[in-house]
Structure 1
C-alpha cells in the first residue's frame, strides 16, 4: 500500500507496506476501509489488508455491490447487507489474549466479581465465592490509579461492539469501575447507554441499518439526529422513529411531533381511508401524544381538498385559538364566532370580528350573525362606537335598544357645535323620546328639562347676541339678572325649581 504525503509536487513517496492480493487483475472495487486498511474485490473474491500487512480474504456466493463509508465498507448482495470495519483498539486491548491494559483488568475484575454458583451445592461453597471476590478486588487494586482510563476504554469498547450481550458486559464493567471512581465519565456513560439502545434496534432485521457508533454520534449529533429520524420516517418506521426521538432526547418539535405529523399527513393523503377512520386513528394517537395538533392536521387536509375531514378534526382540537383560525379558513364563520365566544378571550373575539367584517359582503348580514352571541356582540358595539357611530345607531335601531339610541343621541347632542343650536335641540328631543319609549322616567324628566333649557338659551342668544348655549342652569339665571331680566330669571327659578340658596 502506497501513501503520498501532502507537500511539494516533487516530494518523494513513502512506502508503508507492500502486499500481494488474492484478487486477480480484474479489480472491481478498490476502496479504503477506515484509515488503516484497503478493500479490493473482483466479481467473486475480496481482500482486506491493513497497514501491518495482515490480510483477510473470502469469497462471495453471489453478485454484490460495495459502498464506502467513513469508517468501513458496506456490502450489498442478493441475500444480505453486511458492514465491515476495523476492530477498534479498545476491543483489542480488552479481549486480546494476555492483555495487560487497565481496561482488561477491570473487565476481568467485574467477571470475577459476578461469578455465581450454578446449582444449590455450589451456593453452599462460601469459601469459593469469597475467593472469587478476593480475586476481583485484587485486580481492582492493581489498576486503582488508572481507573478513569479503564472505565473510559470499557465504554469505548461497548460503543464499538456490535454484540448486545458483549455491550452489556462492558458497560457493567465500566459501572463496576465507577464505584471506585464515582466521577469517571458519568455523562458519557449515560449517553452511550441511550445511543447503543437506539443502534441495537436499528440493526435489527426490521430496519436493517447497521450504523456504527461513530457515524450515529459524531455525524448525526451536529444535526441533532434529525437525519436519522428523517430516514426512519421516510421508511415508514414511525414507532421506531418515535422511540429513537425519546431515547436520544431529540427536541420535541423536531422529533416526536414531526414524526407524528408525517404519519398523519400520510394518512390524510391516502384516499382509500375514510374520514371517520382517519379521525378515529388520530384521536387514538392523541392519548399517547397529547400535543398532537388537530388544527395542523386539518390544515394539511385542506391542502389535499378534504375539507369535511378538516372540519371533523377541528371538533377535537383543544386549542380554541387554533381551532378558530382554521374554521375561518374553512369558511365556517358562525362556528368560528361561536368557538371564539366560548373561549372568552377578548383578543381572539376581536380578531374574528374584524376578519368577518372584512370578509362578509354585506354588513347587515354580519349584524344579524353577531347579535346571536352576547360577548362578541358587546365587543362589536364597543368597536363601532368609536369607529362607525352611524353603524352603532343602526344596530341599536335594529335591536330595539332604546336606551342605546338615547345614549347615541345624547352623545351627539353634546358633541355638536355651539353654533348648531338647532341640531343640539333635535338630538336632545330624540334622546328624550327614546328614554320615554324605554320607560326610564328619571332620564325622561331630565331630558325634558334640558330640552326646555336649550330652547331658552337659544332665545337668549338671539335676543342679546351672547353665547348662552351649553351654559349651566345657574350660569344662565345669573346672566339674566345681570341683563336686568329679573322677571325672566325668577320665572326660570320657579320653572326649574331652583332654591334661593342655589
Structure 2
C-alpha cells in the first residue's frame, strides 16, 4: 500500500515519471504575485517582492509606501526597505550567484541590495552609461552574475559580471527600429530575446539571440549573424536557452512549442498548444522537459508523448533549478522534478526490483513475518544494488518519515551484505540531517540533494551566516568537521553591529566567550570591524587578545594606538613591524614627540638611526641634538663633507670646498664640547686646515690635484711642482718630522730627476735619515752615476756592499763586504753575480780568506 500511495502522486510523461511535492505553506500574508514584481534566487534562495507600479493594486489597508521585501523560500520575512529611488520604473530585478539583489530602473541605474535589504552602494549607484540613460531601458535578460539590457532604441548593452562593476559593454547594433510607444510590449521587428551565457559560447563572451521577423539572429560584441536561415519555425514569440547552452526552446506565432539544438539540425519537441497566445513564462525543467505557464495552466512538454497539465487558481512563478523547477504561488511552494530512478525502482506499482523487495522485506520484518527472509533470499545476488537504491532514494526524499524508512531498509540489507561500502549510509544520514535542518520553515532553504552537492557545504554555511543563522551554521560546521572560524567571525562582527547599546566591557566578555572556541581565530579582524563600526575602545580591547603580531600591530596603528603598537612590535622582535610603526609615527607626530617616543625603545631607536643614516641626515641630526648626542651630529657633518667631496664638480669646482670646510669646522666645534672626543676635535681641526691649504694650492697652481690628498702627498706634490716654499709651509703647519720631510723631498726630487737639487739638499747638513734614501732614490730612477755620489757616504759597509751590488759593481761590493767580515753577505752577493764567473770567483776568494782568518 505504501508503494501505491507514493506512486499515486506521480505523473507519467513518455517513459519518465514526474512528481510535484509541496515543500512549504507560505508564511507570508496578503502577497499577490500577479500584482508584484518577483525575483527568486536559485538553490532555494530568497524571494524579493516589490509592488508593480504599472498595475493598479489593492493595498489591503497597508501603507501606500512602496516597499522592497525579501522573504525566505518559506515566506518568512527577512527584511524590508522603502523603495525611494528616482530614475523611472523598475524594469528588471534578479539575484546573482552570491545572493545579491540587482535592480535596474528605466534610466539605466543599477541598485544592489544584500539579503538584509541594505544598499551596497548607497551613495554612488552604478550606471549603465550615458547612452543607456539617454535611450532608457526597455527589457532586461539576466543570467548568473550578468545582464543584457535592451534599450528603447533597440540597442543592446551588457554587464558581464556584477562582481566587477567597472564597465558596460555595448554589443553590436542589431539594426532594429526604435520603439515609439514606451508602453508597447514589443519592438518593431524584435519579438523576443534570449541569452547564451559566456561559459557556453566559443568566444567566451555573452551572445544574445533575437527573434526578428521570421528568423533569428545572434548578436555579440563583434557583430551579428543570422542563425539557421529558413530552419527557424516561423516568427517566435518566446524562447529560452537550456541550462547547458545546447538547446533552444521556442514558442512560435502559431502556438507551437519547439525544442531544437542550436543549429536547428535536429528537432526534439514540436507540440501544438491549444492557444496561440504566448505563455507568461517559458522555462526548462532540468534538461528533460519544457514548462509553459498561462494564467491558469502549467503545461509540461516532453518528447514523443502527450504533455502533463497542472491547473492553478492562483498566479505562480516558475523558478528553474539544476534538477527541476520550484513553483511559487500565493499560498505554497512546490518542487516539480523527475522522479529518480532509484525511487521508481522501489515505489513503482508492481515493481519486483531488488530494491522494492528489500523495502518490502523490511515491512515484513517489522511485522515479524517469515516472508522477510524469503525476500532476502530472492535478491541475495543483487543485495548491494538494492541497498544502494534505498540509500539513494532516501537522499531524494523530502518526507522525513520516508527517508527514515528507506535508510532502515538499506541498513537491514547491509547486515546481510559483506561487500557494501560501510560509510555510505552514515554519509547519507549526515547529508540528510543537514538538508532537513535547512529545509525547516524557519530557515527556508529547500535544497534537494543534487542542488546541495552542486552548491557545496561551505557555500551553504556562507549563506546561513549571511542570513544570520549563526547557531545552525556553527552546528553544521561542527557536525561536518569543517572550520568553524568563518561562522564565529561573522557572528562576532554581526553582534558588534547589532549591539550598539551594550557597554564595551560587557560586549567584550560576550565576544570572548565565543571567540575562544577557535584557537586560530583572528581577533584583529573582529577588532577591525569594531573600529569600522565606531567602537574604537572595544577594538583596542579586542586586539589585545590577538596573538599574532603581524595582524595585531597594523590594526593598533589604524585605531590610533601607536604607542601600544610600538610596544607590541618591539616585543615581537620583527624588524619589519617595528619599521612599520616607526614610519607611521614619524609621519603622524611632531618631530620632538616622535624623538621622545623612539628614544624610550632601543630597538626602534636603532632601526630608525640605521635608516636615517642612509636617507634622512637632516632629520637624524635633529634627533641627536634633541637627545644631546652632539658627537653623533659631528660625525654626520663630517660624513656630509666627504659626500660633498664626491661631487664631480668638487674636483674643479673650488666653490664647493668652502661648504665642505664649514661642515668640518662645525663638526670640530661640536666635538670640542665633549671631553671624550678630543682626538676627533683635533683631527677635524687639522682636516679643515689641510683642506683650506689644499684649496689655496689648487687656486695658486690652477691644478685640481691637491684636495683630499694626504699631508705627505701634498708636500710631495708641491715639491714636484716646484713650490718648495709651499711644501715647507705645509711641513711647519702640520709639524711634519724632519725625517719624514727628508724622505718626502728626496723621492720627490728624484721623481722630477732634479739631481743637482738633490745633491745640494744632501750637502745642506748631515741628513737625519742618512744617505741610504738618496741611494735608493737614484737607483730606483736608474741613475747609477748619481747613486755613486752617495754610496761611499754610507757608513755601514754592509749597506755599501749591497748598494754596489745593485748597480753591478762586483769588485767594490766585494771590498765593502770584506770590510764587514760577513760571510753570509758574501754568499748573497755571489748569488747576485751568479752569471758573472769572474765576479763569483772574487767572492769565493774573499769567503775563503775570511774563513781562514776565522780559523786562525
Short-chain TM bin:
0.5 to 0.7
Whole-Å separation in 2 of the counterparts to 1:347 and 1:134: 77
User: Deviation per CA, 1:413-457, whole angstroms, max 9, x where unpaired?
Assistant: 212354244433333333334445161455445445434533543
Q: 1:421 to 1:206 in 2, by over 3 A?
A: closer
1:158 corresponds to which of 388, 394, 403: 394
Corresponding residue number in structure 2 for 1:310: 539
2:706 corresponds to which of 442, 452, 468: 468
Give the root-mean-square deviation of aligned CA atoms. Answer: 4.9
Whole-Å separation in 2 of the counterparts to 1:39 and 1:259: 46
**Post-superposition shift, 1:401?**
1.5
Corresponding residue number in structure 2 for 1:90: 342
Specify the structure having the higher radius of gyration (Cα). Answer: 2
1:454 corresponds to which of 671, 691, 700: 691
User: Deviation per CA, 1:335-358, whole angstroms, max 9, x where unpaired?
Assistant: 333333333333333333333333
1:395 corresponds to which of 623, 628, 633: 623
Whole-Å separation in 2 of the counterparts to 1:33 and 1:498: 119
Q: How many residues of Structure 1 are paired with residues of Structure 2 in the alignment?
A: 438
Pair 1:380-2:608 in alignment: yes
2:469 corresponds to which of 237, 258, 267: 237
Deviates more, 1:278-287 or 1:370-379: 370-379
Three-state SS of the structure 1 residue aligned to 2:579 is helix
2:636 corresponds to which of 398, 402, 408: 408
User: Deviation per CA, 1:279-314, whole angstroms, max 9, x where unpaired?
Assistant: 112212222123433333333333432222222222
Whole-Å separation in 2 of the counterparts to 1:111 and 1:140: 16
Matched-pair contact (CA < 8 Å) for 1:103–1:154: yes
Whole-Å separation in 2 of the counterparts to 1:73 and 1:256: 36
Corresponding residue number in structure 1 for 2:502: 273
Q: 1:94 to 1:400 in 2, by over 3 A?
A: same
**Post-superposition shift, 1:470?**
0.6
Matched-pair contact (CA < 8 Å) for 1:29–1:42: yes
Whole-Å separation in 1 of the counterparts to 2:301 and 2:415: 32
Give matches, 1:400-439, under 5 Å: 400-417=628-645, 418=650, 419=654, 420-436=656-672, 437=674, 439=676
Three-state SS of the structure 1 residue aligned to 2:345 is helix
Whole-Å separation in 1 of the counterparts to 2:438 and 2:301: 22
Three-state SS of the structure 1 residue aligned to 2:676 is coil
Whole-Å separation in 2 of the counterparts to 1:498 and 1:179: 110
The answer to which structure has the higher helix fraction is 1
Q: TM-score scaled by structure 1?
A: 0.68
Q: 1:425 to 1:211 in 2, by over 3 A?
A: closer
Corresponding residue number in structure 2 for 1:198: 434
Give matches, 1:287-326, under 5 Å: 287-326=516-555
Whole-Å separation in 2 of the counterparts to 1:475 and 1:374: 44
Matched-pair contact (CA < 8 Å) for 1:397–1:405: yes
2:514 corresponds to which of 285, 300, 306: 285
Matched-pair contact (CA < 8 Å) for 2:637–2:663: yes
Whole-Å separation in 2 of the counterparts to 1:210 and 1:167: 20
Unaligned runs of 5+ in 1: 16-27, 44-64, 119-127
Whole-Å separation in 1 of the counterparts to 2:356 and 2:737: 112
Unaligned runs of 5+ in 2: 1-10, 14-248, 257-269, 274-294, 745-856
Q: 1:412 to 1:66 in 2, by over 3 A?
A: closer
Matched-pair contact (CA < 8 Å) for 2:668–2:680: yes
Q: 1:171 to 1:353 in 2, by over 3 A?
A: farther
Q: 1:177 to 1:293 in 2, by over 3 A?
A: farther
Three-state SS of the structure 2 residue aligned to 1:335 is helix
More RCO (CA 8 Å, sep 6+): 2
Corresponding residue number in structure 2 for 1:495: 736
**Post-superposition shift, 1:405?**
1.2
Whole-Å separation in 2 of the counterparts to 1:382 and 1:159: 67
